[in-house]
A and B are shown apart, each in its own frame.
Chain A
Amino acid sequence: MRLISIVFLLFLVVSSEGKSVYNDEPQKSFSVSGYVKDAATGEVLIAASVYIKELGSGTVTNPYGFYSIGLNKGSYTIGVSYIGYNTFEQILDLNSDLILNIELKPEARQLEEVVISSVKKNNNVSSLETGTSQLQIESIRRIPAFMGEVDVIKAIQLLPGVAVTSEGSSGFSVRGGASDQNLILLDEATVYNASHLIGFFSVFNNDAIKDAKLYKGDIPASAGGRLSSLLEVRMKDGNSKNFSATGGIGTISSRLTLEGPIINEKTSFLISGRRMYADIFLPLAKNKDLKNNKLHFYDLNAKVNHIINDNNRIFISGYAGRDVFKNEFAGMDYGNNTITLRWNHLFSKRLFSNFSFIRANYDYELGTQAERPDGFEWKSNLEDHSVKADFTYYLSPGNIIKFGAATTYHHFLPGSARGTGSESLFSEFILPDNFALEHGIYAMSENKIGKNLSIKYGLRTSIFQNVGKATVYNFDEAYNSIDSTVYESMDFYNSFSGLEPRLGITYMLGEFTSIKASYARTRQYIQLAQNSTAGTPLDIWFSASKNIKPQVSDQASLGLFRNFADNSIETSIEGYYKKMTNTIDFKDHAALLLNPKLEGETRIGESWSGGIEFLVTLNLNKLNGWVGYTLSRTERTIAEINDGKPYAAPYDKPHNISVVLNYPITKKLHAGANWVYSTGNPVTFPTGRYEILGAVLPIYSKRNAYRMPDYHRLDLSLTYSKMPKPGKKWQSEWNFSLYNAYGRHNAWAINFVQDENDPNITKAELTYLFSYIPSITYNFKF
């Protein structure tokens, strides 16, 4: 820890010395600080733009809605803007520190004209972020959704640079990365498996969520542990003004969210539940054996926050979700649980801090129901406990220093199987637990230099330690296990550490155009033992160890951003190149479950990904949405796979287009449409065949030498909103959606089979999951 402190101090000294260059006036400096909130609900607004007109610069609110700007004595015009809200402006005479809490009024829905304001809305151009997308829940709600279930992850999958792993999956690949290279956080807690029903729905209940932000490469130094992306999902804090309820009744699930103040505006709560009830359809099934099956999932989100005083706030939030499949013979259930305790503390009006304690857990179990000789149960569990401290120091407009540290204790129970009942033939089979510590410390600084140049630089140091008790297998060069080493409890028997520099530069070319460049190194110490493209809930996470080196990625990107028509059309072109080392793939016919020698199944090499992403975002008078196109390639080279020759990574989709549009036909009726197109996934097909006992066995091509057919799909939706009657709070809307509107049979799998009538004939067969799927959802709010 002493080393950590020294690194910190060095950083701060360096950073603050850097500051003195443009902070050299002897004038006394004061701060304006406070929170930006929604005037109707009291929800804090994240990334609202706070702007000092006279200086031509400002800041954005942090994830807790807080902002602070250091200013010299004087008179200023402060402006605050946020999409979908009326802009706030006020003149300040600053001669002491000032607390200014600002409540923005939501733009009335009927007003469709663009509100022209003096406050800049070119944040996408001027910000120091490249490759990031912030999605507001309101805009996600208008996107046509599968089964009418509005879903953050499904919306993220429509962004350029993001590819879906397979039809219907909640997995996504960011800039060619694997789906386990995305760090998915719900109120800072890691969500290890973000999918319900093997991916058709994600674990995020839209009604409980305020905001989602995806970092596709320019991951801030405050986060680490995954190579490709960071998806930060934040829950609503709960309405602090009035009690309100939001809900929906859908074709497949229903939702209810209750929120409101507990003590004045100081304490508020939110509780939100969702249950999917596919099993209510089962009694309609023709096969009578299906009628007693259970098939459902649920999500429960809860949050309480309390404002102790101006300088202290606490938040407690939790999530619990589970999928349950059961019939009379066997059953399976799995889910995530998270809990986050947070304390926001202002050491001064300029030094904001947050301390978090986080617990995240993912587990599954499956087994037989009845007392039988093959009765068994199989369990696996992964649990994290983390502590984090994050500090932000607001020096002057455009100049911010952030630093902090985090430690996570990972506890893996990769799997245990045992017989159940007295009759069972199975012995107890337990894969030993694994323990590890993962630490990160970081410092970063954002500086505005002159009028046009902003830079952001940061350094993260990550440390990973394997901790006993553990049994580690030793492998020879042919990956055969030769022996094993047992480490005692609390024996720190292996560790890795490394620096992760992050850099971002934005250069403004006038008010509406900028060039941005960024570089980021990321390191990943835990990964998913997943061999298939979409994966199953049974896939387990395994850590770096003596046999598995951490994965490392270096990514550079360059972007041109330009806004048109008073920032109502935003365009960008971003190119990136990413080089990854210690890339993990698995040997042919790998056994990844209940295998104590899992590490011997891995094959290590390197990979690269490069691409160009085009994005046009429309925020016009009526028409809203975006059009994205990505041109990219991703390849892996691993000595023992494909004869050591490069092969397309599983999510390599050279062309990827997404069009998302919504349009108000009348004040009450909104139409939405999205269309996606992508090159088919790379795939290995047979080129030869041979016969064994009458069965035709394939001889395969080189790895991923073929492609699945191209994927494309159109979804449509129509939302009919009933305006609240004067004096009444009840609002409701009907949503009709049509998934895969032109009923394309998109290939989910392609298999090669023998003809039933003449087994000598072999043929290819395409499996598709959906033709078109209509659904109706009724949503209400009061």
Chain B
Amino acid sequence: MKKTFLYLSFSLLLAFPIIQSCTEPYDIELDNSYARLIVYGEITTDTTAHVIRLTRSADYYYNLPAEGVSGAIVRINDGIREIALSESETEPGSYQTGADYYGVPGRSYSLTIDNVDINRDGAIEAYSASSELPFMAAPDSIRLNYARYPFFQGSEILLFAKDPAETEDFYAFKVVKNGIQQTDSLPEIIVQNDQLFNGNYTNGVSVQFLDDDKPGEKVSPGDTIVFEMFGITSEYYNFIVQAQTALFGSNPLFSGPPANVTTNLSNGALGFFAGVNVRRVGAVAP
């Protein structure tokens, strides 16, 4: 909410015709950086093949898709049993669990990665991360509401759910339209903590948005909308907020000094390994 309103007041200012800013390309040489292991993956409560993606970081002007890291030994331990993930044959660097794997709320998941030589010095490195898979109460229902804002218009997803009073909760929100995920890119995920509404009923607060002007998002009568609510840890919440801040860009008014997005990986790797509780609730567009 805080951020929403900072941006809102900022957009009010930009509405001021004279203080309209403009952008242009800028040439700047940047130093090189050393390669780091990048890890990203979620263990969710869905029963599916869960994917852990290992890639290599590059210099900023690399301008090619991230290079997958092959040949690693990737294991996940949920405190009860340990499983080994197998590397995808079609997508090097992607390591999968079996299709029957699912996460259990309350368990702690540990990821270990071995047999990797990111800096290519001939010595093998090992990395690890761990995350709780949080509990989360299921949402009651959603409703769609058509809304117009000064610079955009579309369908708001209104949420009816109860936030538990006894816990500090962190959420992520996504939306699926007619079976197609609309909000799976990092900037489109909406995250929220319950600092300002702990223990309250949400009363139909707007939690996601399908923008009429974005391809495929415009909602027509009869469309099936599935709202996905994720229970996440505070660390994963911070990771997403910081990553979104980096993507949003900085300006002298609101931005502090840029800093690397935090990670829960050890040994200098970046990225995140998260346990995520997923609940879904659907509606048909009127």
Name A residues whose Cβ lies closer than 8 Å to a Cβ of B. Answer: 147, 165-169, 197-198, 200, 252, 278, 281-282, 284-285, 287, 289-290, 293, 295, 325-327, 329-330, 332, 366, 372-374, 376, 378, 417, 419, 423-427, 429, 531-536, 538, 586, 588-590, 593-594, 650, 684-695, 697-701, 703-706, 709, 745, 747-753, 760-769, 771, 773
A427 to B201, CA, bound (A): 10
Cβ-based interface call for B123 (8 A):
no
Q: Which chain B positions have C-beta within 8 A of A593?
A: 2
B34: nearest chain-A partner, CB-CB: A688
CB distance from A51 to the nearest CB of B (A): 47
Bits for B230-249, please: 1 = Cβ < 8 Å to A, else 0: 00000000100011011101
CA distance A372 to B21 in the complex (A): 32
Q: Cβ of B63 and Cβ of A761 under 8 Å apart? A: yes
Known contacts being A532-B256, A533-B252, A698-B60, is A427 close to B9, with CB within 8 Å? no
Residue B28 at the chain A interface, CB threshold 8 Å? yes
Taking A427-B200, A689-B59 as contacts, is the C-beta distance between A532 and B185 under 8 angstroms?
Answer: no
Interface residue B164 (Cβ < 8 Å from any Cβ of A): no
B251 contacts A687, C-beta separation under 8 Å = no
- Give Cα A373–Cα B229 distance, bound, in whole angstroms: 18
Interface pair A688/B254, CB less than 8 Å apart? no
- A695 and B251: CB pair below 8 A? no
**Nearest-neighbor residue (CB-CB) of A295 within chain B:** B16
Question: Size range of the interface on B?
Answer: 35 or more
18 pairs across A/B with beta carbons < 8 Å? Answer: A168-B19, A285-B15, A373-B203, A374-B205, A376-B196, A425-B201, A531-B256, A586-B256, A687-B33, A689-B59, A690-B57, A693-B185, A697-B261, A697-B270, A698-B260, A763-B25, A767-B21, A773-B18
Q: Which of B82-90, B104-112, B144-152 contacts A (4 or more CB under 8 A)?
A: B144-152
In angstroms, Cα B271 to Cα A749, docked, is 26
A688 with B59: CB separation less than 8 A: yes
Nearest 3 CB-CB pairings of A with B: A688-B33, A588-B259, A531-B256
With a 10 A CB-CB cut-off, give which of A330, A429, A695, A699 has the most chain B CB atoms: A699
Residue pair A685, B30 in contact (C-beta under 8 Å) = yes
Q: Which residues of A contact B19 (CB under 8 A)?
A: 168, 197, 200, 769
Q: Provided the pairs A200-B19, A289-B150, A766-B24 are in contact, do residues A690 and B252 lie with their beta carbons within 8 angstroms?
A: no
Which residues of B sit under 8 angstroms from A282, Cβ to Cβ? 15, 17
CA distance A339 to B279 in the complex (A): 57
Q: Would A198 and B256 be within 8 Å (CB), given that A426-B196, A701-B31 are in contact?
A: no
| Distance to closest chain B CB from A296 (angstroms) | 10
Contacting residue for A373 out of B17, B202, B262, CB 8 A: B202
Q: Which residues of A contact B36 (CB under 8 A)?
A: 688, 690, 699
| Chain A neighbourhood of B31, CB < 8 A | 687, 701, 705
| Min C-beta distance of B265 to chain A, whole Å | 11
Whole-angstrom distance between the Cβ of B274 and the nearest chain A Cβ: 11
Q: Nearest Cβ in chain B — how far from A343, in angstroms? A: 42
CB-based nearest A residue for B65: A760
Question: Are the CB atoms of B12 and A295 closer together than 8 Å?
Answer: yes
Roughly how many angstroms separate A705 CA and B271 CA in the complex, as a whole number? 24
CB within 8 A of A762: which of B2, B18, B61? B61
Contact among A165, A284, A376, A419 for B252, CB-based, below 8 A? A165
| Chain B residues within 8 Å of A325, by CB | 9, 12-13
Which residue from chain A places its CB closest to the CB of B201 in the assembled complex? Answer: A425
In the complex the two chains form, is A327's CB within 8 Å of B13's CB? no
Select B66's contact among A374, A687, A690, A768, beta carbons within 8 Å.
A690
Contact of B28 among A167, A650, A706 (CB under 8 A): A706
B184 within 8 A of A: yes
> Which residues of A have CB within 8 Å of B63?
760-762
Give A89 Cβ to nearest chain B Cβ, in Å.
Answer: 51
A535 and B253 in contact, given A332-B9, A425-B200 (Cβ under 8 angstroms): yes
* Interchain CB contact under 8 A, B260 and A691: no
7 more contacts with CB within 8 A, not counting A327-B12, A376-B1, A427-B196, are: A325-B12, A423-B204, A684-B259, A687-B30, A692-B186, A695-B247, A760-B64
A440 to B253, CA, bound (A): 34
Query: Could you tell me if B200 and A762 are in contact, using CB atoms closer than 8 angstroms?
Result: no
Contact of B59 among A147, A685, A687 (CB under 8 A): A687
Q: Which residues of A contact B205 (CB under 8 A)?
A: 372-374, 425
B261 proximity list for chain A (CB < 8 A)? 697
B253/A198 in contact, CB under 8 A? yes
Are B246 and A532 in contact (CB-based, < 8 A)? no
Q: Tell me the minimal C-beta distance from B232 to chain A in angstroms.
A: 14
Is B24 within 8 A of A768, CB to CB?
yes
Contacts of A748 in B (CB 8 A): 21, 251-252
| Closest-CB distance, A439 to chain B (whole angstroms) | 33
Report the Cα distance A336→B21, complex, angstroms. 28
In the bound complex, residues from chain B placing their C-beta under 8 Å from that of A538 are: 6
- Which residues of the partner chain B approach A698 to less than 8 Å between Cβ atoms? 60, 246, 258, 260
CB A326 to nearest CB in B, in angstroms, measures 8
Contact present for B15 and A290 (CB under 8 Å): yes
A694 touches B186 (CB 8 A): yes
Q: Contact partner of A749 among B25, B38, B61, B252, CB < 8 A?
A: B252
* Bound CA span A727–B81, Å: 101
For A590, the chain B residues whose CB sits under 8 A away are: 256
* Known contacts A373-B202, A589-B242, A747-B26, A536 near B64 by CB under 8 Å: no
Q: Is B23 an interface residue (CB 8 A)?
A: yes
Q: Which of chain A's residues has its CB closest to B20's CB?
A: A769
Contacting pair A688 B60 (CB below 8 A): yes
Q: How far is the CA of A429 from the CA of B262 in the complex (A)?
A: 27
Q: Indicate which residue in B9, B23, B24, B246 contacts A697 across the interface (CB closer than 8 Å).
A: B246
Closest Cβ of chain A to B129, distance in Å, is: 14
